Structure 1
Amino acid sequence: IGIAALIYSISAREANSRGDRPAAERYSSTAKILNLVALILGLLAIISSVVIIAVSLALY
């Protein structure tokens, strides 16, 4: 997901340099959403891992 966000970010920068503001805003918005999704999924993965490790250590 992070790589897709990076690609959209680069596309936004290129569109902005061409002067295509609507496309730049669209790409930028998509990149922002993808970055937020990647952040949330990453945090959920870390929290889940910590909980699983804590529970498995508590059982033994």
Structure 2
Amino acid sequence: MTPSNPSPLPKTYPCPQCGTHTAWQDNKSKPFCGERCKLIDLGAWASEEYTLPAEVSPFSDEL
């Protein structure tokens, strides 16, 4: 007889919005834990809360 191998636990990762560990498999909101965190992140993008550092170019005032 061979010992039965239990199925491995699903791989989890932290939600980028709230940090809650959630399963990747069968998650329609990935990489977020759910629809709420997904919408919070979308709202942050829409209100331009996310920015990238940039150097001022010598011609930026001409644009």
Higher RCO (Cα < 8 Å, 6 or more apart)? 1
- Which structure's residues are more often helix, by fraction? 1
TM-score by length of 1: 0.30
- TM-score w.r.t. the length of structure 2 is 0.29
Kindly name which structure, 1 or 2, has the bigger radius of gyration based on alpha carbons. 2
